[in-house]
Each structure stands twice: as C-alpha cells, then as structure tokens.
C-alpha cells in the first residue's frame, strides 16, 4: 500500500536549514511515498488513525527533506523538550529541522508503524525497514530506534538509493591492480578473506563489491548470509539444515563444488574455528566488525586458538575508508607546485590536480554566484572507497606462527609493498576523483 498525499505546500522552511533564503513560502514540494515495510507486515493505518493524522505528513516532510539533500542518514534526537534532526550527506553532518519533543515522539512512532514495528513499544531497540519512492526513484530506508535516557528514543534512518548503488569494484573505485588481486585470491579454493571496519564505515558495501569482483563465469559462489534486500547476482543462496553447524554446511557446499563461500561476520571463536577448519579447501569471505586490518589479524589469531592454523588459512585482510568525490560540475583544476608533489608523495611529472570549486565573486558588486546546482555548493558529490590490504606472504605467515602482533605483521606487509590508505588515497587524488584537502580531513578523522 502506498501512503502518499501528493503535493503539499511547504511552509516550514526550517526543514531546509541551510537553504532558508532559497525557498519561497508556498512552494510545491512532492512528498515521498511510503510503499510498505520491508518485513512484509501490513500497515494498519485505520487502527492508528490518530497517529497518522498527527504524524504522517510531518514524517513525510522530514524524509523528503533528507532525500532531496542526498542524505545517506537522517537522525532524530530528543533533547529535553525539543528535538533536532541531523542529516548526513557524503559522510558530513548537517543540521536539519527543530521541533517540539511531542512531535518527534509522534514521528518516531509513525516510522515504527511504517516499518512493521510496534509503535507503542518503548525501552527496547527495534530494527526494520521501509520501501519508499520519491520523484520516480526508489529508496530503501533502514530503521533503527534506540532507547535513550528519560524515556526518549533516538530514530536513525539509513537511506539506500536503489538507482545509484555502490555495487561493483568499479563503483567503489577499486584500482586495476586491486581488482586483479581479488580475482587471484578467490581463484584457489583456499583461505579466509576478511573485510573489516567499524559499524557504519562501509564494510558491508565493500564486502559485496569484493564478492562481485570474483570471476563468476569461472567460479561458483555460495552464500549463507542473510543479505536482506541486497542482491548478489550469480551467488547461490544455500539453506543450512536444522541441526547442522557451519563446518557441516560448508562441507555440503564443497560437495556441490562451491569455490567461494560468503559467511556471516566473524564475531566469535566458535564459528571462526569452524570456518578455519575448512579454509584449506575452500575460499571463505566474511566481514569483521573491528577497526582496522591489524586488529582483524589479532582477532582472527585469537579466535583460531592455533597460530599455526591461522598462519596457514588467513589469506588477506581488507579495510576501507570512504572519501568524498569532487563534484564533476564545479571542481577546479590547478597546476601543483613541485614541492607539494614531493611533500605528499606524488610523481614529479604530475601536471594537474583538482580541488573543491569555489563560487565566483563579482568584482564590482562583491556578490557571489549561486552555489553549484549539482552538489549544492559543498564541492563534493558522492563517495568512493580508499582501500588498505594485507595479503599474506611467506614472511607474514611465518610472523603469525611465531607470535607477532597484528601491528608487526602490518609493518612487514607495508615493507613488502602492500596497499595502504596513503597509496590508494594518492591514486584517487592523481585520478582527479578527490582532493588533497579531503584526504587530510579523512586521515585526521
């Protein structure tokens, strides 16, 4: 069922906190259409008519505002008797609208209802999703409602634009060398490949892109992961039999001639040991919710309980940072100073770099030109992944067996020329995809 009232006069310009001067009262705004809960639970609007009357339109306005600003996340926080929305665009937070506490509570309840959750349940985290459409583009909203002190709740809405997704290695900006590395690693029916990062850092997106980098015409990929609504083309969904553990299930997939198995995140010793027990005969790909590659190595070694086994079956660990892409409509080219190239480590023959565009100023009036329509004056549009990779060598496997730490292993891997954030970031700068200023911001963060 679609819950949409068509167009509404937008008289609340606080919804566009950074554009107040650009919107005239009474402007027609096409509001988002809600198209059902991801979990398939019917939304009974009649039984919740009072809530719908009070909160459906404000909810649609809040979500519409976020979508029009290209937000990948919308957050609603209650603070005392007031509430504040925050939108995240290309990883940067911007203030949204403010509202009374009661309106925020009603919006949160409305979002729960639309996501097939219990709108009356408080004090317990709830997670769900809503399918939506706005201006002909379909979105999927992931909903997270988390209890806060004094009976308040935090509403977090994560947005997936179903038209513009970061699906493939090319979408995420993988280099030619990295794409070939992924193909090589997944072609031997051997080893654990882990993609690590803290929650919300893009780890899942990078893992899916890595899987899509496997040569699917040559190799068979199986999955025992609940991918939700994310699609993995040419990956066979494998059903685990009741009572079977992970090792038994992997053995069954191997008998079906699987080459690569996508498994749930490695979070505990028991499941990790089971995957390691078969990783000498099959390629295992998994996420790890840890901060970086060194931490991932430490965790894998600890989970294994056997350093020699870990040394034999860990093949590679990847991590990523997302950096903003320069807006193609307003980026500015410049000729870099040779000293700058030497300082940052770019080749001396580099002739052109790019930076964020700045509005032109009329010399006579001092007025600035309007901001770029594509990026809304931010200078950036979208994000791309900057990768770090530790691919095991004889030297690093020996270090694992001998008791070295993740940081020591990482240092040797760097001396062997492994891909680092610094190297990959400079590649993106040299290709004109991002700026030195953006790299500096991400590294400081």
Tell me the pLDDT tens digit for each residue of 351-387.
Answer: 999 999 887 776 677 677 888 999 989 999 999 999 9
State the Cα–Cα distance between residues 35 and 168, nearest whole angstrom. Answer: 27
Dump the DSSP string for 189-205.
Answer: S--EEEEE--TTSSHHH
CB-side exposure of 177: number of CA atoms within 13 Å? Answer: 11
State the Cα–Cα distance between residues 196 and 319, nearest whole angstrom. Answer: 5
Express each pLDDT in 180-217 by its tens digit.
Answer: 999 999 999 999 999 999 877 889 889 999 999 998 88
Range name among 286-300, 357-371, 425-439 with the lowest pLDDT average: 357-371
CATH 3.40.50.300 location in the chain? 176-325+357-444
State the Cα–Cα distance between residues 259 and 279, nearest whole angstrom. Answer: 11
Grade residue 234 by pLDDT with cuts at 50, 70 and 90: confident
Range name among 123-127, 365-369, 420-424 with the lowest pLDDT average: 365-369
Dump the DSSP string for 356-403.
Answer: -----B-TTT-PBPPPPTTTTTSSEEEEEEEEEEEE--HHHHHHHHHT
CB-side exposure of 330: number of CA atoms within 13 Å? Answer: 19
Q: Give the pLDDT score at 62.
A: 96
Name all contacts of 401-405 with Cβ < 8 Å and 24+ positions apart. 401/307, 401/308, 401/311, 402/307, 403/307, 405/294, 405/298
State the Cα–Cα distance between residues 407 and 388, nearest whole angstrom. Answer: 14
Q: Spelled out in words, what is the top-level CATH class assigned to the domain 176-325+357-444?
A: alpha beta
Express each pLDDT in 61-108 by its tens digit.
Answer: 999 999 999 999 999 999 989 999 999 999 999 998 999 999 999 999
Q: Give the pLDDT score at 23.
A: 39
- CA distance readout (Å), 114 to 72, 101, 343, 375: 19, 20, 53, 31
Q: Give the pLDDT score at 232.
A: 81
Q: Give the pLDDT score at 171.
A: 86
Express each pLDDT in 241-251 by its tens digit.
Answer: 999 999 999 99
Grade residue 163 by pLDDT with cuts at 50, 70 and 90: confident
Helix (H) or strand (E) holding 311, with range, is helix 307-313
- Provide the whole-model pTM: 0.83
Q: Give the pLDDT score at 20.
A: 39
Q: Give the pLDDT score at 1.
A: 41
CATH 3.30.450.90 location in the chain? 7-161
Tokens of 318: 């990847």
Q: Is the pLDDT of residue 5 over 70?
A: no
Q: Is the pLDDT of residue 27 over 80?
A: no
Mean pLDDT, range 22-47, rounded to an integer: 81
Nearest to 225 by CA among 200, 206, 204: 204
Mean pLDDT, range 336-356, rounded to an integer: 94
- Return the DSSP state at 223: E
Tell me if 117 sits within 8 A of 106, measured CB to CB.
no
Dump the DSSP string for 226-238.
Answer: --TT---TTEEE-
- Angle, helix 246-255 to helix 269-278, in steps of 10 degrees: 20
Mean pLDDT, range 300-327, rounded to an integer: 96
CATH of 7-161, one of 3.30.450.90, 3.40.50.2300, 3.40.50.10320, 3.40.605.10: 3.30.450.90
Nearest to 431 by CA among 354, 378, 375, 357: 354
The mean pLDDT of the chain is 90
- Return the DSSP state at 186: T
Grade residue 15 by pLDDT with cuts at 50, 70 and 90: very low
Grade residue 8 by pLDDT with cuts at 50, 70 and 90: very low
State the Cα–Cα distance between residues 392 and 409, nearest whole angstrom. Answer: 9
């Amino acid at each position: 069922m679609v819950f949409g009232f068509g167009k509404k006069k937008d008289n609340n310009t606080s919804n566009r906190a950074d554009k107040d001067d650009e919107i005239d009262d009474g402007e027609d705004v096409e509001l988002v259409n809600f198209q059902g809960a991801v979990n398939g639970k019917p939304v009974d609007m009649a039984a919740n008519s009072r809530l719908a009357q009070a909160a459906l339109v404000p909810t649609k306005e809040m979500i519409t505002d976020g979508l029009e600003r290209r937000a990948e996340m919308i957050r609603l926080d209650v603070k005392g008797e007031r509430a504040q929305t925050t939108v995240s665009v290309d990883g940067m937070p911007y203030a949204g609208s403010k509202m009374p506490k009661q309106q925020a509570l009603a919006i949160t309840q409305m979002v729960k209802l639309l996501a097939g959750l219990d709108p009356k349940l408080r004090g317990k985290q709830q997670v769900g999703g809503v399918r939506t459409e706005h201006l002909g583009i379909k979105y999927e909203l992931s909903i997270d409602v988390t209890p806060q002190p004094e009976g308040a709740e935090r509403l977090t809405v994560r947005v997936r634009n179903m038209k513009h997704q970061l699906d493939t290695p090319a979408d995420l900006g993988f280099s030619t060398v990295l794409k070939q590395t992924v193909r090589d690693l997944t072609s031997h029916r051997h080893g654990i490949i882990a993609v690590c990062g803290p929650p919300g850092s893009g780890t899942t997106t990078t893992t899916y892109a890595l899987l899509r980098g496997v040569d699917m015409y040559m190799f068979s990929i199986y999955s025992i992961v609940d991918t939700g609504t994310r699609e993995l083309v040419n990956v066979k969904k494998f059903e685990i039999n009741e009572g079977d553990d992970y090792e038994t299930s992997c053995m069954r997939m191997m008998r079906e001639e699987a080459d690569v198995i996508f498994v749930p995140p490695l979070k505990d010793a028991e499941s990790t040991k089971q995957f390691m027990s078969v990783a000498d005969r099959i390629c295992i790909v998994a996420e790890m919710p840890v901060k970086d590659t060194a931490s991932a190595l430490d965790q894998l070694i600890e989970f294994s309980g056997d350093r020699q086994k870990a040394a034999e079956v860990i093949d590679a660990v990847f991590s990523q940072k997302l950096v903003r892409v320069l807006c193609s409509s307003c980026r500015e080219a410049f000729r870099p100073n040779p000293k700058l190239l030497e300082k940052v480590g770019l080749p001396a023959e580099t002739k052109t770099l790019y930076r964020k565009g700045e509005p032109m100023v009329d010399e006579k009036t001092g007025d600035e030109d309007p901001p770029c329509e594509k990026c809304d004056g931010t200078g950036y549009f979208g994000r791309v992944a900057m990768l770090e990779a530790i691919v095991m060598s004889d030297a690093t496997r020996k270090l694992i067996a001998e008791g070295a730490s993740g940081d020591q292993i990482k240092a040797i891997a760097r001396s062997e020329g492994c891909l680092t954030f610094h190297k990959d970031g400079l590649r993106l700068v040299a290709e004109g995809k991002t700026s030195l200023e953006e790299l500096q911001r991400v590294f400081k963060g």
